[in-house]
Amino acid sequence: MKKINIFFSLMIISFFFLISEERINYDYDLEDIGNLLEIEFIKNGELYFKNKNSIIKKIDIELAYRDIEKTNGLKFRSSLKENRGMLFLLKNQEEYKKINMKNMRIPLDIVYINQLNTVIFIKKNISPMREIEVIDFSVPDTIKYILEIHAGMSNKWGIKEGITKITWFFSGKNGN
């Protein structure tokens, strides 16, 4: 009988130990871990804004072309310098609808660019940590790129819908 009591007591202690161990391991979800991260900007190229064949601004860009890069975007970053942005290279027309501000820490201007490299719409001063409305673009405008820049820069630089065009160059570097 004494062996059974000891065995039973050990099982109860083991059970509570396992429960507490699982709780420790699962207390952190991805958002908690993300809040501990600081992701550095990686310059992949340069982008030029032009109004009527005159360059109005040059910025450094980080490219988002793989699915994971598009999903993460600028999430979990606490700052973005004025002369930088992230350029999303879209594979199809539906991808632009997935862009949102969930887990973003900084306000942004989101610039939508068509297949002719012309800015067709700008969502200005988007607050962090919220879902954004999907814009329903009409045909024939198809979104080829999305550019995220620090909030207020589209006004400061004079970026205009239907007028401003972009040219960008991939530097072939991965930031190292």
* Domains of the chain by residue range: 2-33, 37-170
pTM: 0.74
* SS3 at position 75: coil
Q: Give 98's DSSP letter.
A: G
Q: What are the beta bridge partners of residue 126? A: 108
Query: What residue ranges of the chain have pLDDT lower than 50?
Result: 20-31, 139, 175-176
- Give the Cβ contact number of residue 29 at 10 Å: 8
Q: What percent of the chain has pLDDT over 90?
A: 45
pLDDT in tens, 60-79: 999 999 988 888 888 888 88
Q: Which CATH superfamily is domain 37-170 in?
A: Protein of unknown function DUF192 (2.60.120.1140)
Distance CA 18, CA 34 (A): 26
